[in-house]
Amino acid sequence: MKRELEYFFAALRFFTRLPVPAWVGHAQDQLDHAARYFPLIGIIIGGIGAGVTELAALALPLGVAVLLGMAATILATGAFHEDGFADSCDGFGGGWDKAQVLAIMKDSRVGSYATLGVGLMLLTKWNALTELDAALGPPFLALALIAGHAVSRLASTVLIFFLDYVRDDDSSRAKPLAQRMAPGELAVAALFGLLPCLLLPLADVLAALAAVLVVTLLAARYFVRRIGGYTGDCLGATQQVSELAFYLGLLCSFG
| Phi, psi dihedrals of residue 111, rounded to the nearest 5° | -100, -175
Determine the longest span between alpha carbons in the chain, in angstroms.
51
Tell me if 60 sits within 8 A of 1, measured CB to CB. Answer: no
- The total of structural domains in the chain comes to 1
Beta bridge partners of 165: 230
Predicted confidence band at 33 (pLDDT cuts at 50, 70, 90)?
confident
Q: What is the pLDDT of residue 1?
A: 74
Whole-model pTM: value is 0.94
- In degrees, rounded to 5, the angle at the alpha carbon of residue 163 between the alpha carbons of residues 158 and 169 is 115
Q: Quick one: average pLDDT of 53-76? A: 96
Residues contacting 217, CB < 8 A, separation 6+:
none
State which residues form the domain around 82: 2-254
More confident site: 26 or 155 = 155
Q: Kindly tell me if the per-residue pLDDT of 163 is higher than 90.
A: yes
Question: 39 CB contacts (<8 Å, ≥6 apart)?
Answer: 150, 151, 153, 154, 157, 189, 190, 192, 193
